[in-house]
Amino acid sequence: MNITLHVWRQKSAREPGKLVTYKRGDVSPDMSFLEMIDVLNEELAAKGEEPIAFAHDCREGICGSCSMMIDGMPHGPQDLTTTCQLHMRTFKDGAEITVEPWRAAAFPVVKDLIVDREAFDRIIQQGGFVSVNTGNAQDANAIPISKEAADKAFEAAACIGCGACVAACPNASAMLFVSAKVAQMAELPQGQPERYRRAKKMVDQHDAEGFGACRNHYECEAACPKGISVRYIAQLNRDYLKASVAVAEHAGRSSGPG
Amino acid sequence: MKLDAKIPSGPIAEKWDRHRFEVKLVNPANKRKFSVIVVGTGLAGASAAATLAELGYKVDAFCFHDSPRRAHSIAAQGGINAAKNYQNDGDSVYRLFYDTVKGGDFRAREANVHRLAEVSRNIIDQCVAQGVPFAREYGGYLANRSFGGAQVSRTFYAAGQTGQQLLLGAYGALSRQIGSGNVKMHTYTEMLDVVVIDGKARGIVTRNLRSGAIESWAADAVLLCTGGYSNVFYLSTNAKGSNVTATWRAHKRGAGFANPCYTQIHPTCIPQSGDHQSKLTLMSESLRNDGRVWVPKQKGDKRASQDIPESERDYYLERKYPSFGNLSPRDIASRAAKEVCDEGRGVGPTGLGVYLDFADAIKRVGESTVAERYGNLFDMYERITGENPYKQPMRIFPAPHYTMGGLWVDYNLMSTIPGLHVLGEANFSDHGANRLGASALMQGLADGYFVIPITLGHYLASNPLEKVDTSHESFKAVENEVREKTKKLMSMKGKRTPDSFHRELGRIMWDNCGMARSTESLKKALQRIPALRAEFWENLNVPGADGDTNQVLENAGRVADFLEFAELMCMDALTREESCGGHFRVEHQTPDGEAKRNDEDFCHSSVWEHQGVGKPATLHKEALVFENVKLTQRSYK
Amino acid sequence: MASTVANDANLAKVAKQNHAMGWVRGFVTSSIGAKYVMAASGLALVGFVLVHMVGNLQVFLGWEKLNAYAAFLKSTGSLLWVARIGLLVAVLAHIVSGLRLAYLNKQARPVRYRKQTSMHTNVFARTMAVSGLIVVAFIVYHLLHFTLGVTNPADYALEDPLGRHDVYSMVVRGFQQPLVSASYIVAMALVGMHLSHGATSMFQSLGLNHPKYNSLFSKVGPAIGVLVFLGNISMPVAVLLGFIQPR
């Protein structure tokens, strides 16, 4: 296959970037998109040029590292597929492909196609967990959980934290990410004690990071490589409303570290 | 190097209890005075960092990813074992212990394995409490599935994403501690060396992968939770970034490396499609619950799978191992696949593949049930190969997947460097010469949640430590070494990229130290590796600068360590004159081609002491004493 | 760890967060709270638009009915003012919150993509701010035209044989001017577009998303959009085509 790539090159966050064109012959349809770039990078390195920096690790669609806007779509044109699992057979011979990093104020570019997604971690740190110390747990079968609830929690928990939802959103909102984590816990009895506090704190952190507000375009759901549903956003809206309007802040007792 | 495993006395079932009573404790108010460095944030690292912080220790955690959630534990698919006996099928702690020792071909330390089986139950409890959405039955209780090497159903799972869900649980626990200020998280930071002061591990030196800054970090103890070294083969199921650097550098500072030749080749991976291939993708072993493995009976049979009649198919696992059949342990299933391919009966364009066929399962339970069980795996297979496994059988082939070898640790998970503890896949402790499916997640979390919080306290309480900070001359010295090495990597300006060396090394290792090893092949590898290493240090090309994100430089450092480590791995394989588990020496097999152990001479762990690059390492032996399990020829027939 | 009762500073902080000035402000300025503001004010406005349309459609019933309806509205007195103020609050909340969100959302992506492909959203959803702003401009004109009588004072001053404000003639004379009618038709197209996304989106913002009702919700917006468009343009079109004759 012959492919023409227009790749965003940017040395660092401080310097401006631009699209650079690379012509590729000899692309095998069995290559993954990243392997196609690997081969290009080997050639660039052999010429003493800097290879294209891009985030990747597991290459089996689960670590959430890869983050490329391919032809204007996060992770490219194939549904439910991360960039690392996207294969060149998806493209036509002679295709021109534009590759850009995720674009969001909360995801500053580090280099070329790599962006900083630590805003996601800071959101999780505000409550994306059940506060249970190791050793506290009772027997795993002590609380029956309906299969339906467990499956719904799992569907929400399938989020890989790649940021495609933010990349796709016309408003660079991370509501799908936040809602998936909140919903996972909201579906389970273990998540109930902190349910509203969690929703409130995580959304407030989302806003503080500079993500935009959801305007129900649903681009996120279409872009999500794990098919996470926007119904979790509606659920989050309800929980957030209740947390803000009906739950009083409570000074409580501090319980020391942890 | 003195190897004292510090196994507690008493009957095996009481050792851990007794040990927990006998260890010294750190007073709750004193815990915050101790600082701990945790390197790696996979299952072992995240669970350890979170739990230690909950106890009150001051923790610094490090990972080279942009987030702790990206560690490769996330990719584990099938499940996690626990001796819960929820199925009432005869499981018990003792049975899990026994299965694991036997599955490991009697090359693991009994006491550690028993402890692992004991705490396995607590792990499931803990994870459920964290909100890990394990699969459940309609009644609301936890579901189980079967895995290779066991005749009970004890594997807990979350579809084909169990590792992801467990890691997100541990990551949640860690995030909670980061949020409340008890753990300081250092992302994008790669550990490049351990600092040993007065014989004790007192800190690490790291490189910041964004700024290139070389920095020192001091602490009272260091935990390495940095995973395995399957990427020595270049092509493996590991993530691209997985590497041996942390454990190898610790080894060079005095930590014994145990059984490096014990590597696991996973039987069900998607075959390689071409030279561009950058990694191999695993198809969960759980597929063997319903898939049947076969090849044509005829050599060179090029017909499409559906054109081969039932009578001309060889379901070789069911034929050779009737009682375990398609669920034979990994090493056995892998070797059997290699054998039929060597005979010329392999399938697919390269002839390096066997069929994993779901036609019978689809007939029996229907396509929708099969989709519910394995849908995500089938989709993944189709995305990669372009073939639909509901319509035609999958093609699979073995691939390097897990490494049982690792840094030697005693019962307290401490290496031969006092203060340097090693957890999870990075240590050698629990799986012997072969790991059973769904046991890696169990071990990582056992070490992190339940073992290290006890044993680390014991070390800190019983060893007076002088105050040390990073201004100590040892830190400066190590920093300089790291800087020099980085400078050297950048300055050669040769012709070859690190990846090209890595690929070549991988080829050498796969051909000569892979599924079948011989004196001849290992000697050949031992000749070629030093030559390749010498070329690396003359002809390497790393473009760009080191004061900035430079992925080629990161990779170069890791390949440099693989080039040293590979030699030790081959040496270990050459010295172990027996076949056991994942280590198969062609000279040592039974007449029907099964692995033949030599318990008389090799019932020990081989622990290597570094003597300098290119110099033969010194071999020490920890004798393995089996008081509870009778050594037998492993049979799954 | 031993429990300790929260200290005074913490109590003071909590008291502040519980004070209405604190939490209401926090809520309406949060990304989700702002959605509720948009949805709730939007709901009020949709209600108004529908009632307003039904009332005006009485133009088809002749001048007696329409002028009587107008006189009835006037006669409610203070009640009318309560409605007007409520409407004004909803409009202002909708505009202020909408503009603020549009601004913040622009800030959230300071560097645009060179290439971006829509996978789900449509042009109506992407142009909410633009369609909304044009509609605001139209509303101003509409108020000047029919409510305040600034643009056409002569029409505004007309009285019917019963001595009532002759709304019927004012409307018909207004729509007899093709340019005026055209502006109403264009504006109603924009209102329809705005509602076709907005009135469906409202359900999601209010937290209503359920597999059993989603297909219904998804039809509500387009249905209201089409209804409002057709219902409202029927009047200028009927006047222009001569179906509605001057009194």
Asked if B551 and B214 count as a contact pair (C-beta separation under 8 A), the reply is no
Beta strand ranges found along B318-359 (DSSP E): 354-357
Tokens 């468009």 sit on residue: C229
Nearest by CB: C18 against A213, A230, A249: A249
pLDDT digits (tens, 9 = 90+) for B365-415: 999 999 988 888 898 899 999 999 999 999 999 999 999 999 999 999 999
Q: Which of residues 132-161 of A touch B (CB under 8 A)?
A: 132-141, 144-147, 150-151, 153-154, 157-158, 160-161
Are residues A253 and C4, on separate chains, in Cβ contact within 8 Å? yes
Interface of A with C in 117-156 (CB under 8 A): none
Q: Residue B166: which of B41, B37, B39 has the closest Cα?
A: B41
Q: How many residues does chain A have?
A: 258
List residues bridging with B477 in a β-sheet: none
In the A/C pair of chains, how many CB contacts fall below 8 A?
163
**Residue B107 near residue B262, CB atoms below 8 Å:** yes
CB contact under 8 A, A72 and C116: yes
| pLDDT level of residue A253 (50, 70, 90 thresholds) | low
Cα radius of gyration rounded to whole Å, chain A? 21
Nearest CA in chain B to A127: B176
Segment A130-176, tens digit of pLDDT: 999 999 999 999 999 999 999 999 999 999 999 999 999 999 999 99
- Each domain of chain B, given as residue ranges in start order, spans 265-399, 477-602
DSSP bridge partners of B58: B35
Set of chain C residues whose Cβ sits within 8 Å of the Cβ of A105: 107-110
Q: Is B116 exposed, middle or buried (0-12, 13-18, 19+ CB in 10 A)?
A: buried
User: Number of folded domains in chain C?
Assistant: 1
Contacts with A, C 108-167, CB within 8 Å: 108-121, 125-126, 128
What is this model's ipTM?
Answer: 0.97
Using CB atoms, which residue from A50, A65, A188 is nearest to B543?
A50
3-state SS, one letter per residue, for C68-108: HHHHHHHHCCHHHHHHHHHHHHHHHHHHHHHHHHHHHHHHC
Q: With bands split at pLDDT 50, 70 and 90, how would you rate the model's confidence at A252?
A: low
Q: Strand, helix or coil at C127?
A: coil
Q: Touching B: which chains, 3+ CB pairs < 8 A?
A: A
Query: Which of the four pLDDT bands, split at 50, 70 and 90, describes residue B143?
Result: very high
Q: How far apart are CA C195 and CA C211, in angstroms?
A: 22
A116 vs B66, B129, B172: nearest CB: B66
As to burial, measured by CB atoms within 10 angstroms (0-12 exposed, 13-18 middle, 19+ buried), residue C50 is middle
* Domain region containing C60: 30-109+123-240
The DSSP annotation for C174-221 comes to HHTSHHHHHHHHHHHHHHHHHHHHHHHHHHHHTT---TTTHHHHHHHH
Q: For the segment B388-401, what is each residue's pLDDT rounded down to a tens digit?
A: 999 999 999 999 99
Please indicate whether, in this complex, the C-beta atoms of A213 and C31 are within 8 angstroms of each other.
yes
Q: What's the pLDDT tens digit per position in B407-455?
A: 999 999 999 999 999 999 999 989 999 999 999 999 999 999 999 999 9
pLDDT in tens, A45-74: 988 899 999 999 999 999 999 999 999 999
Q: How far is A15 from chain C (nearest CA, A)?
A: 13
The span from the CA of A74 to the CA of A170, in Å, is: 12
> Does A237 contact C at CB distance below 8 Å?
yes
Minimal C-alpha gap between C189 and chain A (Å): 20
Q: Where are the alpha helices (DSSP H) in B183-311?
A: 245-252
Q: What is the pLDDT of residues B519-557, one digit of tens each?
A: 999 999 999 999 999 999 999 999 999 998 999 999 999
Specify the CATH number for A118-246; select among 3.40.30.10, 3.40.50.300, 2.40.50.100, 1.10.1060.10. Answer: 1.10.1060.10
The verdict on a CB contact (< 8 Å) between B84 and A130 is no
- Give pLDDT tens digits for B62-115: 999 999 999 999 999 889 999 999 999 999 999 999 999 999 999 999 999 999
B372 CB near a chain A CB, below 8 Å?
Answer: no
pLDDT at C16: 78
Q: Which pLDDT value is given to residue C7?
A: 64
In a domain, C245, yes or no: no
- Residue C22 domain flag: no
Tell me if B185 sits within 8 A of B206, measured CB to CB: no
Residue A51 dihedral angles phi and psi, to the nearest 5°: -65, 165
| Identity of the residue numbered C24 | V
Q: Whose CA is closest to B59, among A41, C132, A154, A258? A: A258
- Tokens representing B572 are 């270990």
Domain-located, residue C166: yes
What's the confidence (pLDDT) of residue C151? 94
User: In 10 A of CB C80, how many CB atoms?
Assistant: 12
Phi, psi of C226 (to 5 degrees): -65, -45
Question: Catalytic pick from B109, B207, B288, B330?
Answer: B330
CATH fold of the domain at B265-399: Flavocytochrome C3; Chain A, domain 1 (3.90.700)
Distance CA B10, CA B413 (A): 19
Sign of CA dihedral B560, B562, B565, B570: negative
The H or E element spanning position B400 is strand B394-403
Task: Chunk chain C into consecutive blocks of 10 residues (it has 247) and report each block's average pLDDT, rounded to whole numbers.
Answer: 54 78 91 97 97 97 96 93 96 97 96 95 94 96 94 94 95 96 97 97 96 96 98 97 93
Percent of chain B with pLDDT over 70: 100
What are the two backbone dihedrals, phi and then psi, of residue B80, each rounded to the nearest 5 degrees?
A: -135, 130
User: How much is the pLDDT for C1?
Assistant: 38
How far, in Å, CA of C33 to CA of A245, rounded?
10
- How far apart are alpha carbons B504 and C29 in whole angstroms? 58
Which residue's structure tokens are 């699979």? Answer: B396
0.80 surpassed by pTM: yes
Mean of the per-residue pLDDT values for chain A? 95
**pLDDT at position A258:** 43
In a 3-state reduction of DSSP, which class is residue C12?
Answer: helix
Q: Among candidates A191, A194, A184, A183, which has minimal Cα distance to A143?
A: A191
pLDDT above 90: percentage of residues in chain B: 91
For residue C16, being part of any structural domain is answered with: no
Residues within 8 A of A (CB atoms), C 171-200 only: 197, 200
CATH 3.10.20.30 describes domain A3-100? yes
Inter-chain residue contact A137 with B131, CB threshold 8 Å: no
Report the pLDDT value the prediction gives residue B636, as an integer from 0 to 100: 75
Q: Is B243 on the interface with A (CB under 8 A)?
A: no
CA nearest to C113 within chain A = A103
The residue extents of the domains of chain A are 3-100, 118-246
Q: Is B330 a catalytic residue?
A: yes
Closest-CA distance, A201 to chain B, in angstroms, reads: 12
Domain A3-100 identical in fold to domain A118-246: no
Chain A residue with CA closest to B42: the answer is A63
* Predicted confidence (pLDDT) per residue in B461-514, tens digit: 999 999 999 999 999 999 999 999 999 999 999 999 999 999 999 999 999 999
For B477-602, give the CATH class: mainly alpha
> What is the C-alpha radius of gyration for chain C, rounded to an integer number of angstroms?
23
Question: Residue B205: helix, strand or coil by DSSP?
Answer: strand
pLDDT at B329: 86
